[in-house]
A and B are shown apart, each in its own frame.
Chain A
């Protein structure tokens, strides 16, 4: 591997991210999968980095899942997006930041389509007015939330308490970075580092002391793929994609996987359990899996947030070995306790992969 070659590409694929004042929109499924992540993101940006980040309570889904599942037409999806942009405009913001990669893809695609087909933009403007009586507006900047963390990765590093280093060996943790397909595969110029060698997560890993694992199936989709998952009979196809990635990364013995998409950490996490049940195989050491975390969770961990506050108990793959490696203190008793100390109930113990 010639790192200079990658650096050249990374330098070529940079984009402008404004320094402050962001309009934040959430992801539908992340709130269910990883509720701690978005909270942590807002906390880090607002309270640790001191940024102005606004969340409008009236914002909705971007329509992406319905759009990619062929259940709503493009115009409908675009009108939903136009409404989100209008909310931003009404709130006095022009830097649009979304939490979801699917959304990011939809927004990028929509903006590019409007750019190429102004008549479509005019049509949507009319639809927006007809349906919501809202003024059409486009954001000045569009960013994914991970772009922000990437931008401020060194500021976070300054506040870092637990770098991505194995405290026992002193060696950097081996981190697999997994980028959501819709981050830059559709529009390489819209993502940090482009489509082939994205830098957005690599930058975080490097800044926080980890070592990036570049394995042959790095580019491969996590296996979510919307329709492949939604139909139960097709789920084996989804699972097989994940399996392919794990088979490819296994020899590198990664310590964790960092992702920036709602679906990826979910599938990379849950399918490990399913693969273990079906084949008896686990990819971590001693019967554990490889933790697949969101970038916010990783940022939270290195900055010293309590693992259970970050919502790491939501992961099927036990997180404890990683915490031990990083030397992060945690209270095993509190794993399944809610914020008010209420018992959340433990998951049914899987027969193969270790959950504690």
Chain B
């Protein structure tokens, strides 16, 4: 009989891990709390750096997990170790026995309203990066009315002790530039500004995207964090920042402000995480065994981690980890 592997989370990491585990002859079971697979990436329109449709990737992944045992709208309510491995209770009353557990629980998007000074939820024309992706997908958002001036704020909820997140969320810089270009495509007459602290173009083709953003799309990148947003008489946004490269404070009026919300640890999994004895790292994400050779191992035997549950990651990083976790699990089962 094939060994059961419990995968918690049906996003990119969970689906890819399941795909590979199935190929390796094991029986992965995905438990996904929402009504469909795909996770955050399914809410995305196009992917950086080459504007590749996210749907293509998600559809391919969905195709790959056909035949995998998937429980949607389901959550693990309790999990215990027994002689055979793990016994997990699901909220639908089902009990799953599994030899190993893969935590692919992903991330929560930082709640933009927590950065009160940006006025998300208070000013009409402040939206989040996720909402902008939805606009790209559906073409609908009543707050986006042919804006003439658009601003992007990087590091919302990242690199900021004031919200308790000191880490870099890794993907927001590239996402901001990608979205800035896309806005220029939708609104060619608009002036687009991005406000960054550092531009971290860490991956292949990302620096080219940056160059393209500047040269072809005429997006203006200003080094400085937006510190204050207000509304003027006409309901337009007045922002203040420092142009740190110029060494002067700067203010301008915008029609739309997009907040690049960072990744935070998925809090809904905390109870199960505690039951499994997985600690958090200093950034509040799940701690893996070590960051070099044990990145997929937790400190607990038989419990593995993959994807953004341990740190902010890009999609290729996540898929890479999901594949490597499959090998780790396979070796673990075979050596038992």
**Do A and B touch directly, given a CB cutoff of 8 Å in the complex?**
yes
A residues adjacent to B (C-beta < 8 A)? 1-2, 4-6, 8-9, 194-197, 214-219, 251-252
CB closest chain-A residue, reference B117 = A196
Interface residues of B in 104-145 (CB under 8 A from A): 113, 116-117, 119-124
Interface residues of chain B: helix, strand, loop or mixed (majority): mixed
Partner of A197, one of B116, B124, B232, B233: B116
CB neighbours (8 Å) of B233 from chain A are 251-252
B230 touches A1 (CB 8 A): no
Known: A1-B122, A196-B116, A252-B233. 11 other contacts (CB 8 A): A1-B123, A1-B231, A5-B119, A5-B121, A6-B122, A8-B113, A8-B121, A9-B116, A194-B116, A196-B119, A216-B238
- Those 3 A-B pairs whose CB atoms lie nearest each other, nearest first: A5-B121, A5-B122, A216-B230
Distance of B280 from chain A, by nearest CB (Å): 24
Q: Does B235 contact A (CB under 8 A)?
A: yes
> Bound complex: CA of A8 vs CA of B122, how far in Å?
10
Given A1-B122, A2-B122, A2-B124, residue A214 in contact with residue B231 (CB < 8 A): yes
CB neighbours (8 Å) of B120 from chain A are 5
Q: Does B290 contact A (CB under 8 A)?
A: no
> Bound complex: CA of A133 vs CA of B153, how far in Å?
55
CB neighbours (8 Å) of B230 from chain A are 214-219
Interface residues of B in 221-244 (CB under 8 A from A): 228, 230-233, 235, 238
Distance of A334 from chain B, by nearest CB (Å): 39
Given A215-B230, A216-B230, A216-B238, residue A2 in contact with residue B116 (CB < 8 A): no
CB closest chain-A residue, reference B228 = A219
CB neighbours (8 Å) of A194 from chain B are 116
B235 touches A2 (CB 8 A): no
> Bound complex: CA of A247 vs CA of B252, how far in Å?
15
Flag B45-83 by CB within 8 Å of A: 1 or 0 each. Answer: 000000000000000000000000000000000000000
Residues of chain B at interface, number, CB under 8 A: 16
CB closest chain-B residue, reference A252 = B233
> Bound complex: CA of A112 vs CA of B116, how far in Å?
23
CB neighbours (8 Å) of A252 from chain B are 233
CB neighbours (8 Å) of B228 from chain A are 219
Q: Which of B123, B230, B235, B238 is most buried by chain A, counting CB atoms within 10 A of its CB? A: B230
CB neighbours (8 Å) of B117 from chain A are 196
> Bound complex: CA of A216 vs CA of B117, how far in Å?
12
A2 touches B121 (CB 8 A): yes
> Bound complex: CA of A112 vs CA of B111, how far in Å?
28
> Bound complex: CA of A72 vs CA of B230, how far in Å?
37
Interface residues of chain A: helix, strand, loop or mixed (majority): loop
> Bound complex: CA of A6 vs CA of B231, how far in Å?
13
CB neighbours (8 Å) of A218 from chain B are 230
> Bound complex: CA of A196 vs CA of B118, how far in Å?
9
CB neighbours (8 Å) of A6 from chain B are 122
B124 touches A1 (CB 8 A): yes
CB closest chain-B residue, reference A195 = B116
Could you jot down 7 A-B contacts, CB within 8 Å?
A2-B122, A5-B119, A194-B116, A195-B116, A197-B122, A216-B230, A218-B230
Distance of A263 from chain B, by nearest CB (Å): 22
CB closest chain-A residue, reference B123 = A1
Distance of B248 from chain A, by nearest CB (Å): 15
> Bound complex: CA of A249 vs CA of B178, how far in Å?
37
> Bound complex: CA of A197 vs CA of B121, how far in Å?
12
Given A195-B116, A196-B117, A197-B116, residue A216 in contact with residue B231 (CB < 8 A): yes
> Bound complex: CA of A195 vs CA of B235, how far in Å?
22
> Bound complex: CA of A280 vs CA of B123, how far in Å?
35
> Bound complex: CA of A218 vs CA of B233, how far in Å?
13
CB closest chain-A residue, reference B231 = A1
A5 touches B231 (CB 8 A): no
> Bound complex: CA of A251 vs CA of B234, how far in Å?
11
Distance of A319 from chain B, by nearest CB (Å): 26
CB neighbours (8 Å) of A9 from chain B are 113, 116, 122
A2 touches B231 (CB 8 A): no
> Bound complex: CA of A4 vs CA of B122, how far in Å?
7
> Bound complex: CA of A5 vs CA of B120, how far in Å?
8
CB neighbours (8 Å) of B121 from chain A are 2, 4-5, 8
B235 touches A5 (CB 8 A): no
Distance of A197 from chain B, by nearest CB (Å): 7
Distance of B234 from chain A, by nearest CB (Å): 10
Distance of B127 from chain A, by nearest CB (Å): 12
CB neighbours (8 Å) of B124 from chain A are 1-2
CB neighbours (8 Å) of A4 from chain B are 121
> Bound complex: CA of A289 vs CA of B122, how far in Å?
31
Q: Which of B113, B116, B232 is most buried by chain A, counting CB atoms within 10 A of its CB? A: B116
Interface residues of B in 2-35 (CB under 8 A from A): none
CB neighbours (8 Å) of B231 from chain A are 1, 214, 216
Distance of B164 from chain A, by nearest CB (Å): 14
CB neighbours (8 Å) of A1 from chain B are 122-124, 231, 235
CB neighbours (8 Å) of A219 from chain B are 228, 230
> Bound complex: CA of A5 vs CA of B232, how far in Å?
17
Q: Which of A5, A8, A194, A251 is most buried by chain B, counting CB atoms within 10 A of its CB? A: A5
CB closest chain-B residue, reference A194 = B116
> Bound complex: CA of A218 vs CA of B231, how far in Å?
10
Distance of B70 from chain A, by nearest CB (Å): 36
CB neighbours (8 Å) of A215 from chain B are 230, 232
B113 touches A5 (CB 8 A): yes
> Bound complex: CA of A214 vs CA of B235, how far in Å?
11
Q: Which of A214, A216, A217 is most buried by chain B, counting CB atoms within 10 A of its CB? A: A216
CB closest chain-A residue, reference B239 = A216
CB neighbours (8 Å) of B235 from chain A are 1
CB neighbours (8 Å) of A8 from chain B are 113, 121
CB neighbours (8 Å) of B113 from chain A are 5, 8-9
> Bound complex: CA of A2 vs CA of B127, how far in Å?
13
CB neighbours (8 Å) of B238 from chain A are 216
B122 touches A216 (CB 8 A): no
